[in-house]
Structures are given as structure tokens and as C-alpha cells.
């Protein structure tokens, strides 16, 4: 069975802290994604990676960075957390059979609800 796991379901941090959100997939997928979900705004793409050590900015990358050292793991980093980064963070992965463009669906993790005080 397909599985995407995220390191924490709930996380509370203080303004200015460095925050790491971890995501692991066990499906050998090439593509991995980080989204944030906010009421009324849907899901917005922060960063994605189509291969190890490769990354591309999504629609809202400001204040975030990512790391993909191994194929199965994709980390989202908040260098200095701020209150406006309080949100639900969702990781996803996708098998890519034909390079960077694919019609395959994404598989999502359960989400991490981050609160920054």
C-alpha cells in the first residue's frame, strides 16, 4: 500500500525558531511536493523536487527552503519561523514515467499542523 508519512501531526514553535518538517515516501517516487493549506485559499505549492538534489520553487517559496538528499525523503525548512507561517503543511509524492511532465496522481501525507507563537 502506498504510504507518505510526515514526522509530526502537530507542532508548536516560537517566532524566530528554525523549523524542520520531514516527509518520507516508500513508493520510490521521483517527484515530491510541499504545500500549505489555509482556509479559503486551498492548497498552495511551496516547493517541489523532481529528483534527488533537484528542487524548484512553487508559488509561495518565500521564507522556506527544502532539502532532498535521498529519493525517499523531502524536508521543508523554515529558516526563521513567523506567525504568518502558521498553517497545515502537506507533503505529496508522484511517480513520473515520462520525465518532468506526468498525468499521474499525487499521494499525500496526513499533514502537519504548525502553530508559530
Partner 1 sequence: AQSVAQPEDQVNVAEGNPLTVKCTYSVSGNPYLFWYVQYPNRGLQFLLKYITGDNLVKGSYGFEAEFNKSQTSFHLKKPSALVSDSALYFCAVRDERGNKLTFGTGTQLKVEL
Name the segment binding partner 1 (CB under 8 A); options: 14-22, 61-69, 72-80, 109-117.
Answer: 109-117
Q: Does 45 bind partner 1 (CB under 8 A)?
A: yes
- Position among 4, 24, 81, 116 found at the interface with partner 1 (CB under 8 A): 4
Question: Which residue, among 39, 42, 35, 49, has the nearest Cα to 91 in the 3D structure?
Answer: 35
Q: Does 61 bind partner 1 (CB under 8 A)?
A: no
Rounded-to-integer distance, Cα 66 and Cα 20, Å: 9
Q: Does 98 bind partner 1 (CB under 8 A)?
A: no
DSSP reduced 3-state for 49: strand
Give me the torsion for CA of 31, 71, 46, 54, rounded to 10°.
Answer: -90
Least distance (Å) between residue 117 CB and partner 1: 21
Tell me how long the chain is. 117
Give me the torsion for CA of 111, 29, 64, 90, rounded to 10°.
Answer: -10
Q: Give 84 or 98: the residue with its C-beta nearer to partner 1.
A: 98
Residues 65-94 that bind partner 1 (CB under 8 A): 90, 92
What are 25's three cell numbers? Answer: 515516501
Name the segment binding partner 1 (CB under 8 A); options: 12-20, 42-50, 60-68, 73-81.
Answer: 42-50
- Applying CB under 8 A, the residues found at the interface with partner 1 are 4, 9, 31, 33, 35, 40-45, 48, 50, 56, 58-59, 90, 92, 100-103, 105-111
Amino acid at each position: 500500500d502506498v504510504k507518505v508519512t510526515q514526522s509530526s501531526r502537530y507542532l508548536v514553535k516560537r517566532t524566530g525558531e528554525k523549523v524542520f518538517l520531514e516527509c518520507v515516501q516508500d513508493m520510490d517516487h521521483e517527484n515530491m511536493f510541499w504545500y500549505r493549506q489555509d482556509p479559503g485559499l486551498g492548497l498552495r505549492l511551496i516547493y517541489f523536487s523532481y529528483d534527488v538534489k533537484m528542487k524548484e520553487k512553487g508559488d509561495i517559496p518565500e521564507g522556506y527552503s527544502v532539502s532532498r538528499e535521498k529519493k525517499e525523503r523531502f524536508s521543508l525548512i523554515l529558516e526563521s519561523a513567523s506567525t504568518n507561517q502558521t498553517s497545515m503543511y502537506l507533503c505529496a509524492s508522484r511517480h513520473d514515467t515520462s520525465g518532468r511532465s506526468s498525468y499521474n496522481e499525487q499521494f499525500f501525507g496526513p499533514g502537519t499542523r504548525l502553530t508559530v507563537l
